[in-house]
Amino acid sequence: MSLLRVEDLHVEVDGKPILAGIDLAVDAGEVHAIMGPNGSGKSTLANVLAGRPGYDVIRGSVTVDGEDVGTLSPEERSLRGLFLAFQYPIEIPGVSNMEFLKAAVDAHALARGEEPPSAVDFVKRARVAAMRLQFDPDFLKRGVNDGFSGGEKKRNEILQMLILEPRLAVLDETDSGLDIDALQIVADGINAFRANSNAVVLVTHYQRLLNYVVPDHVHVLAGGRIVHSGDRGLALELEERGYGWLDD
Amino acid sequence: MAGSTTDGTALAEMILAQGHSSYAPWLDRGPHLDLVERRALPEVRAEAWRHTNVARWYQAILEGSEPAREAHRIENPAEVEVVDFADPRAAELQEQRGEETYRLTAQPIAALNALLLGAGIAIRVPAGCAAREPVRIFDLPAAYQRVLVIIEPDARIELIEEPSTYTHRLVEVVVRPGGQLVHRRLQAASSHRECSLLAIRAEARACYELSQLSLGSDLRRNDIIATLAGNAANVSLRGAWRLDESRHLDNQIAVHHQAPGGTSRQTYRGVAAGRSRAVLNGRIEIAPGAQQSDATLNTKNLLASDTAEIYAKPELEIYANDVKCSHGATVGAIDAEAVNYFRTRGIDEHTARALFVRGFLREAIDDPDTAQTLGLIQ
């Protein structure tokens, strides 16, 4: 059974069709890259998987570990192991990273029927993750993404992923706007996360990230459908030739 | 009396018929009595009571529902002098407080306080005192109460007003040159109808900081009058409120710059849910000659339901030409994107909104100690 299975997914936003029949199967232990030109529906796919309001699923299904998650709220999906790294992470002044992460970790623990971690244990764990993503020690006290640079925001998404340990991580253009150092930090974080028990879907414009995080499968999304799938070589070819040749 | 309308005249007549309180007989009640004799209490249509039905508060006064309490509950460091208003020493301190720049005697609500007064304390922090422990006021044993606070030159202290019920509390603060008062007050949610009046006079180089969290009550009105009376005085007013159900909070705040070089900062964050109503009238007045004053007022508000009401009105009145002055007021909704962000991390919608609101309020109450004291940190 695939960890993630998307079948014939049709999605509209404000009555406008965006996704026109997506089929995708992601197994545990795999990294899939989804590439495609602007407006092809990449971010819509990522957001629909996370259950973001405002997207109307017209047809098709999304299952995680065999369970249809189509009617689940964003928090229920998260508690079942789905994680979305946002393309534009939200700034929440006044709520510290510590509070935010602890609330999330507590919710996940309770959903598993476990005691939430003690504050001391949690801080230890969060500090380790913060160090891995090269945040200053005061990171936990700062407001969530408040005044963060673009790179810091993306690193924070990866940090949240490492702490929540999802089954499936969907990373929506986490590489965009990163300088080469930040890209390396983010890639190291993703590689540290990779395991036989989980899977990663990378939504990206460029193949640059794929030099660091080597995907098992590459899919090209265009006009709301997956028009081509291949291995890592496809990404290299796209970089060389652009998306135009796929129309032929 | 339920259901009847109570106007100021009826209340004035009741007070004149029963006679004023005999507590703290040294208190000069002449001007207050005069005001009541002229039947000059606010009427229901009074502009200053536009958003709060004053008759409902008068009714609370007439009903006198307040239970009698035994004694003051106050904690204070040894070096701080605390005197009951029944003690003649309080009269001396009242005398020493000096010029009454904020014209309390012209305030109708202060008149009611004086005429019905049942409990009062005077707090004097001696010159140069740097007590580390705060003065904590838990309770005063009457419905109408007064607190006089005198911070002598270069003294520094913290004053915490714990949640307490009263019909009217008047707090008068004088900060002498170079003195500093950090004032925190917490107004818990309640079903009472209550008013408070806080009058501050900051003398030269004095520093006064207020952080206040209000959770609203059946009817709550907070009047604050801050006067920067000496050169280079510094006043910071920070307020946060979070209302739900049908709670009501009306903040009427005025900051008067009367001397040159003063700085005032006003930061307010408010959230109204349910059928609650929150009001902020924030006024900055810069007197002629108060050159190089620097005054700002910033208020942001969130409507958390379709039936809540928020009124936010900053006002400027400037009579000097070399000043810096700015104000801003916004009213919006809880950020749906932010709530979704929380939810994608497994946090349920109710908790997400609560965390968001708390974070929003902490923009006004940003100091961690104060946020802790006021219960804004878990």
A40 sits in the region (left: phi over 0; alpha: psi -120 to 50; else beta) called: alpha
B355 inside domain: no
- Residue A247 confidence class, pLDDT cut points 50, 70, 90: low
Burial class (CB in 10 A: 0-12, 13-18, 19+), B294: middle
> Rounded to a whole number, what is the distance in Å from the CA of B378 to chain A's nearest CA?
9
Q: Is B188 touching A (CB cutoff 8 A)?
A: no
Residue B298 has pLDDT above 60, yes or no: yes
pLDDT value at residue B220: 94
Nearest by CB to B346, from A79, A92, A95: name it: A79
B1 inside domain: no
Smallest CA–CA distance from A79 into chain B, residue? B346
Chain B residues in contact with A86 by the CB 8 A cut-off are 341, 344
Question: Rounded to whole angstroms, how far apart are CA atoms B348 and B339?
Answer: 9
> Rounded to a whole number, what is the distance in Å from the CA of A241 to chain B's nearest CA?
36
Give how many domains chain B has, as a whole number. Answer: 1
Helix (H, G, I), strand (E, B) or coil at A143: strand
> Rounded to a whole number, what is the distance in Å from the CA of A162 to chain B's nearest CA?
12
Residue of A94, A141, A129, A99 whose CA lies nearest to B347: A99
> Cα Rg for chain A, rounded, in angstroms?
18
Residue from A95, A102, A142 to probe the interface with B (highest B Cβ count within 10 Å): A95
Residue A174 tokens read as 């986490």
B339 inside domain: no
Residue B6 tokens read as 């109570």
Residue range A106-122: mean pLDDT, rounded: 96
Nearest by CB to A90, from B337, B346, B360: name it: B337
Q: Is the dihedral of CA B89, B90, B92, B97 positive or negative?
A: positive
At B165-198, the pLDDT tens digits run 899 999 999 999 999 999 999 998 888 899 999 9
CB contact under 8 A, B346 and A90: no
In chain A, where are the structural domains located? Answer: 4-247
CB pairs under 8 A between A and B: 78
B66 inside domain: yes
At B324-333, the pLDDT tens digits run 999 999 999 9
Provide, rounded to the nearest whole percent, the portion of chain A with pLDDT above 90: 88
Nearest by CB to A94, from B337, B360, B378: name it: B360
CB contact under 8 A, B347 and A75: yes
Nearest by CB to B343, from A75, A83, A93: name it: A75
> Rounded to a whole number, what is the distance in Å from the CA of B377 to chain A's nearest CA?
9
B366 inside domain: no
Residue B295 has pLDDT above 90, yes or no: yes
Question: Rounded to whole angstroms, how far apart are CA atoms A71 and A69?
Answer: 6
Smallest CA–CA distance from B337 into chain A, residue? A90
Find the domain containing B210 and state its range. 8-333
Chain A residues in contact with B342 by the CB 8 A cut-off are 100, 103-104
Top-confidence residue, B58 or A61: A61
> Rounded to a whole number, what is the distance in Å from the CA of A120 to chain B's nearest CA?
15
- Residue B42 confidence class, pLDDT cut points 50, 70, 90: confident
Residue A177 has pLDDT above 90, yes or no: no
Averaged confidence pLDDT in chain B = 91
b/e map B33-52, b = 16+ CB within 10 Å? bebbeeeebbeeeeebbebb
Domain A4-247 has CATH 3.40.50.300: yes
First-to-last C-alpha distance (Å) of chain A: 34
CB contact under 8 A, A77 and B344: yes
Residues 6 or more apart whose Cβ sits within 8 Å of residue B217: B187, B189, B190, B191, B192, B193, B194, B247, B248, B249
Question: Rounded to whole angstroms, how far apart are CA atoms B186 and A96?
Answer: 23
Residue B285 tokens read as 């007045």
Residue range B328-348: mean pLDDT, rounded: 96
Nearest by CB to B345, from A93, A143, A164: name it: A164
| Amino acid in position B128 | G
CB contact under 8 A, A94 and B378: no
Residue from A49, A82, A92, A171 to probe the interface with B (highest B Cβ count within 10 Å): A92
Nearest by CB to B363, from A74, A94, A164: name it: A94
CA B339 to chain centroid: 32
Name the DSSP letter for residue B41: S
Averaged confidence pLDDT in chain A = 94
CA B260 to chain centroid: 25
Match 């902490």 to its residue by tokens. B362
Residue B4 has pLDDT above 50, yes or no: no
Chain B residues in contact with A52 by the CB 8 A cut-off are 340, 344
Q: Is B354 touching A (CB cutoff 8 A)?
A: no
Residue B45 tokens read as 């249509």
Chain B residues in contact with A99 by the CB 8 A cut-off are 355, 378
Residue of B293, B298, B338 whose CA lies nearest to B320: B293
Chain B residues in contact with A168 by the CB 8 A cut-off are none
Residue range A24-47: mean pLDDT, rounded: 95
CA B330 to chain centroid: 22
Q: Is B3 touching A (CB cutoff 8 A)?
A: no
pLDDT value at residue B369: 81
Residues 6 or more apart whose Cβ sits within 8 Å of residue B114: B20, B27, B29, B32
Angle between helices B108-116 and B8-18 (to 10 degrees): 30
Match 């004023």 to its residue by tokens. B20
Looking at the DSSP bridge assignments, the partners of residue B315 are B283
pLDDT value at residue A243: 84
Question: Rounded to whole angstroms, how far apart are CA atoms B39 and B30?
Answer: 14
Provide, rounded to the nearest whole percent, the portion of chain B with pLDDT above 70: 97
Q: Is B335 touching A (CB cutoff 8 A)?
A: yes
Name the DSSP letter for residue B346: T
At B283-293, the pLDDT tens digits run 999 999 999 99
3-state secondary structure B61-86: HHHCCCCCCCCCEEECCCCCEEEECC
Show the DSSP H helices in chain B as ranges.
8-18, 30-37, 54-63, 88-96, 108-116, 336-343, 349-362, 368-373
B346 inside domain: no
Residue B288 tokens read as 């002629």
B140 inside domain: yes
Residue range A100-115: mean pLDDT, rounded: 97
Residue A91 burial (CB count, 10 A): 17
C-alpha to C-alpha distances, A214 to A207, A217, B214, nearest whole angstrom: 10, 9, 55
pLDDT value at residue B68: 61
Nearest by CB to A78, from B344, B360, B363: name it: B344
CB contact under 8 A, B351 and A103: yes
- Residue A106 confidence class, pLDDT cut points 50, 70, 90: very high
Provide, rounded to the nearest whole percent, the portion of chain B with pLDDT above 90: 74
B260 inside domain: yes
At A188-231, the pLDDT tens digits run 999 999 999 999 999 998 888 999 999 999 999 999 999 999 99
pLDDT value at residue B378: 58
Residue A144 has pLDDT above 90, yes or no: yes
Angle between helices A97-111 and A119-132 (to 10 degrees): 120
Angle between helices A180-193 and A150-164 (to 10 degrees): 10
pLDDT value at residue B314: 94
Residue from B300, B302, B341 to probe the interface with A (highest A Cβ count within 10 Å): B341
CB contact under 8 A, A83 and B340: no
* A interface with B, Cβ–Cβ below 8 Å: 50-53, 73-75, 77-79, 83-84, 86, 89-90, 92-95, 99-100, 103-104, 107-108, 111, 143, 160, 164
Looking at the DSSP bridge assignments, the partners of residue B300 are B269, B330
Dihedral pair phi/psi, residue B290, rounded to 5°: -85, 55
Smallest CA–CA distance from A51 into chain B, residue? B344
Residue B117 tokens read as 């007064």
